[in-house]
Amino acid sequence: MRPETVSNLLLLIVLSIIISSCQNRPKEVLNRKRMEQLMYDVYIAEATMENDYQSFGSPEEKEAYIKKVFDQHNVTQAQWDTSLSWYSDRIDLYLKMNDSVKTRLKRAQTDIDSKMGQLSIQVVEPEIYSASYIPRIYAFKSPGTQKNGFRFKLDSTEISRDIPDNLFSFNLNAIGIPPSGNTNLTLALTLVYSDTTIYRVQSIDENRNYGTPISKYVNNNALTQIFGFVHLENLQGYTPNIQLYDIYLGSQ
């Protein structure tokens, strides 16, 4: 048999296996790409709840948070359970998917650590922050604004006076993010408690709502200061027409 004939035969066999595998997957099971993305977001949600258990102390709070992740993917709990069971029964495929997701998580953590290092001086130095005023709307191209973002700070008196609930969040909506998502727009919060400091850094790379949950107490330690920082790193020499709206710090 000629070598090219053998190669063609092997290719047909591989294609038939792939097609057969796709056909054997029930329609209620998410495809691999959607499943990996959902696994990625579920892992992040689980890590968030584990590290911020003060905000997710009850099963109902955890369930509502996970449901929000499913809703963002247009997936139900039943679809997740069915898909997870189906892929778990195919252990080689599941392990490959799990490794892919963990690699993405490591890259994301490395990126966050890098950004936190770049912003650390700006985040922890109180003197560079504005007053507690938070703009309701912010456009990077508006006249009279600082084109690279804004900062704010709240002390314990302002937190107690302006935020009555123990659980609240910092929220904003973004519009005008370029399709490439390569904006280098970052939201950073520094939450200073009696004996610990928590950093929250998030890339704003899609046109959607962003919310960062905050608790007034962590391990019975009170929140004493909040430093907020929204920053656009302008690498390409121009300011994109990005607008942030419905910006607020308050009850969820």
Per-residue pLDDT at 11 exceeds 50 = yes
CA–CA separation, 53 and 105 (whole Å): 20
Per-residue pLDDT at 190 exceeds 60 = yes
> Which has the closest alpha carbon to 223: 189, 246, 186?
189
Q: 113-161: per-residue pLDDT in tens?
A: 665 555 444 443 444 445 778 988 888 765 544 568 888 999 999 999 9
Where do the DSSP E strands lie in the chain? 138-139, 149-155, 167-175, 185-193, 197-203, 209-215, 217-218, 221-232, 243-251
Domains of the chain, residue spans: 25-119, 125-251
CA–CA separation, 159 and 57 (whole Å): 22
| Count of alpha carbons within 13 angstroms of residue 131, beta-carbon side | 2
Cβ(159)–Cβ(223) below 8 Å: yes
Q: 46-95: per-residue pLDDT in tens?
A: 877 776 655 667 888 888 888 888 988 899 999 999 999 999 999 999 99
Strand 217-218 and strand 209-215: the pairing is: unpaired
Q: Say which CATH class 125-251 falls into.
A: mainly beta
% of the chain exceeding 70 in pLDDT: 73
Q: What distance, in Å, lies between the first and last C-alpha atoms of the chain?
A: 69
Angle at CA 31, nearest 5°, toward 27 and 33? Answer: 165
Q: What is the mean pLDDT of residues 228-238?
A: 72
Q: What is the mean pLDDT of residues 219-231?
A: 90
Q: Please, which residues bridge with residue 209 across strands? A: 173
Cβ(198)–Cβ(218) below 8 Å: yes
CA–CA separation, 60 and 52 (whole Å): 15
Q: Please, which residues bridge with residue 230 across strands? A: 150, 187
Cβ(137)–Cβ(244) below 8 Å: yes
Amino acid type, 43 = Y
Tokens 């408690």 locate to: 193
Torsion sign over Cα 72, 73, 77, 81: negative
Round the average pLDDT of the chain to a whole number and report it: 78
The reply to whether the predicted model has a pTM over 0.95 is no
| Count of alpha carbons within 13 angstroms of residue 30, beta-carbon side | 25
CA–CA separation, 30 and 79 (whole Å): 7
